[in-house]
Amino acid sequence: MESDIHTRIWEEIGKAKSCLVVSHVRPDGDAVGALLAMGLGLKTLGKQVQMVLCDGVPGSFKHLEGAADVRNKAQGEFDLVISVDASDLRRIGAALDGYRKPDINIDHHVTNDGFGRINHIQPKAVATSEILAEHLGHWGMQITPGMANALITGILADTLGFRTSNMKPQTLRTAADLMEKGADLPEQYAHALLRRPFTAARYWGQGLSSLQKRDRLVWATLTLADRATCSYPGSDDADLINVISSIDDFDIAMIFVEQKNGTVKVSWRSIPGLDVSRVALGFGGGGHPAAAGADIPGTMQDIKEKVLETTYNMWVSWQGSGQS
Ligand SMILES: [Mn+2]
């Protein structure tokens, strides 16, 4: 079964002359890393490649090889459409407007609904970039230094620098392998996880001043007004969720980010054993057991109330099930 899927992917890539590679809205390091590695890899095979992220490449990843070639919209016709790191079609956003569903769907989200014609989903992988690092060779692509930098970026981003509870020895071996293929680990670590724009640090300040708790749940909010106050250009949380989830003595951390389109972007982080992807799925989102998210239509106050209640009830029932 495993080798069968590799053969199918290898055959599809072999047949195609032109390829469209897409990933999800508000791309993170894994989305960008996997997209670039796949795109650059296909180019080494002489394919015509278009890489599309409807929200573009975030500033912290613009230095990666191929980042300047990423477009906001696809144009033209393609023999093969490949999606990386997106758990469902909606997550791809406008990048596929006017195009068919992906032929190949490569992802590691446990909530991936198998929207591709060929679906290669590995929920145990720490990142889609890890899947690609292990398998691009099986699909006929040699990893260049540019691809290695992209892939190590994806692994670092999704493991927060090898710190998440799903880390396995094999991930470190894969990272070591990528270093041998030319990845600059300290450099990519700094870009993906450490460096922040001044506006992001001020934005964190706004969020941190809203910090609240109930039992072992902690959360913060970021409003459109907060964003305007510190001129933060993004529509995300500037990774503030990672700061909040490092606070001692909490089981679940949440952040609520008000969006211009009348939705609230909610992110959850939880300790091992507590599956917040189920709550996210209930609100139309998805993700991983320990890190999930959802874009929910409604006002900040409404969404906050509903999400806090549902999450709190899940936490209470988890407590009751004796898993703590
Ligand atoms: Mn990922």
Round to the nearest angstrom and report the end-to-end CA distance of the chain: 37
Under the banding of pLDDT at 50, 70 and 90, the label for residue 3 is: confident
Interatomic CA distance for residues 185 and 183, integer angstroms: 6
Q: Is the pLDDT of residue 154 over 90?
A: yes
Pull the structure tokens for residue 260: 């211009």
The per-residue pLDDT for 324 is: 47
In the predicted model, what is the mean pLDDT of residues 212-218? 98
Q: What is the pTM of this model?
A: 0.84
In the predicted model, what is the mean pLDDT of residues 295-311? 98
Q: Is the pLDDT of residue 223 over 90?
A: yes
**Ligand 1: distance of its center to the CA of 157 in Å?**
8
271-297 pLDDT, tens digit each: 999 999 999 999 999 988 999 999 999
Check: CB of residue 127 under 8 Å from CB of residue 154: yes
Q: Is the pLDDT of residue 165 over 80?
A: yes
**Ligand 1: distance of its center to the CA of 53 in Å?**
14
Interatomic CA distance for residues 84 and 53, integer angstroms: 11
The per-residue pLDDT for 14 is: 97
**DSSP, residue by residue, 174-238:** HHHHHHHTT--HHHHHIIIII---HHHHHHHHHHHTT-EEETTEEEEEE-HHHHHHTT---SS-T
**Ligand 1: distance of its center to the CA of 20 in Å?**
19
CATH classification code of 198-320:
3.10.310.30
The torsion angle over the Cα atoms of residues 298, 299, 305 and 311, rounded to 10 degrees, is 50
Domain spans of the chain, in order of start: 2-194, 198-320
- The gap from C-alpha 5 to its chain's centroid, in whole angstroms, comes to 23
Check: CB of residue 206 under 8 Å from CB of residue 222: yes
The per-residue pLDDT for 112 is: 95
96-135 pLDDT, tens digit each: 999 999 999 999 999 999 999 999 999 999 999 999 999 9
Q: Is the pLDDT of residue 322 over 90?
A: no
- The gap from C-alpha 278 to its chain's centroid, in whole angstroms, comes to 17
Least confident of 76-80, 168-172, 192-196: 192-196
Fold classified for 2-194: inorganic pyrophosphatase (n-terminal core) (3.90.1640)
* H or E element in which residue 107 lies: strand 104-107
Q: Is the pLDDT of residue 155 over 90?
A: yes
**Ligand 1: distance of its center to the CA of 158 in Å?**
6
Pull the structure tokens for residue 165: 């509870």
176-191 pLDDT, tens digit each: 999 999 999 999 999 9
Interatomic CA distance for residues 210 and 221, integer angstroms: 6
33-72 pLDDT, tens digit each: 999 999 999 999 999 999 999 999 999 999 999 999 999 9
Percentage of the chain exceeding pLDDT 90: 93
**Ligand 1: distance of its center to the CA of 320 in Å?**
31
**Ligand 1: distance of its center to the CA of 128 in Å?**
5
Q: Is the pLDDT of residue 16 over 70?
A: yes
Check: CB of residue 89 under 8 Å from CB of residue 110: no
The per-residue pLDDT for 47 is: 98
Domains 2-194 and 198-320 share a fold: no
Interatomic CA distance for residues 216 and 20, integer angstroms: 44
Interatomic CA distance for residues 301 and 311, integer angstroms: 15
**Ligand 1: distance of its center to the CA of 125 in Å?**
9
Which residues line ion ligand 1, judged by CB < 5 Å? 30, 85, 127-128, 158
Average pLDDT of the chain? 95
The per-residue pLDDT for 1 is: 54
